[in-house]
Amino acid sequence: MIDIYVANEITFDLPEGNFAGKIDSVKVFPKNSRKGMEDWIRILFLVEVPGMENLHTMAGRNFKLNLHSGSELRNFLRGLLGGQFFLNVSGQKFDLESLIGRDCAVKLEHYRGKNYDKPMVVVASISPPFSMEVTQAISARGEN
């Protein structure tokens, strides 16, 4: 017999629901817009999906790199960090890479595009760990 380890496959094909997660990476990338090139950030999450333990289950979300009051990124991070956080760091720099490794609760939602077989999985919101009831009933195919 010749045994060899097969590494966990990475998948972004995840079910909807609430799951435990961890911020895996943050990466800045340029994106062309009507205003020219803008900096955006991609936040990747390692998501713990019951029934999919043999896979490396990931989800991500992209944002314009902007933490001004009312910005999409700031509103998203407020769910995890709390509103007081931004008052405490007002007028200072904040290292987004400091979020890497941080535990959180992740709410995943599906958006179905016309003529697409699979839905797009979106990280709808994040919050502190254990702050929401975790989705449990997942089949071996990752369906609720």
Per-residue pLDDT of the chain (144 residues; tens, 9 = 90+): 999 999 999 999 999 999 999 999 999 999 998 889 999 999 999 999 999 999 999 999 999 999 999 999 999 999 999 989 999 999 999 999 999 999 999 999 999 888 888 888 999 999 999 888 888 855 544 454
30: tokens are 């340029």
The phi and psi torsions of 86 (rounded to 5 degrees) equal: -70, -30
Distance CA 134, CA 49 (A): 9
Amino acid at 94: F
Long-range contacts of 109-115 (CB under 8 A, 24+ apart): 109/16, 110/16
**Cβ within 8 Å of residue 67, ≥6 positions away:** 73, 74, 77, 86, 94
Give residue 131's pLDDT.
86
Token pair of 32 as six digits: 């062309």
pLDDT of residue 35: 85
Output the pLDDT for position 99: 97
Say whether 75 sits in a helix, a strand or coil. Answer: helix
pLDDT of residue 25: 98
3-state secondary structure of 86: helix
Report pLDDT for 113.
Answer: 81
pLDDT at 130: 87
pTM for the model stands at 0.87
CA count, 13 A, side-chain hemisphere, 54: 7
Q: What does the pLDDT read at residue 3?
A: 95
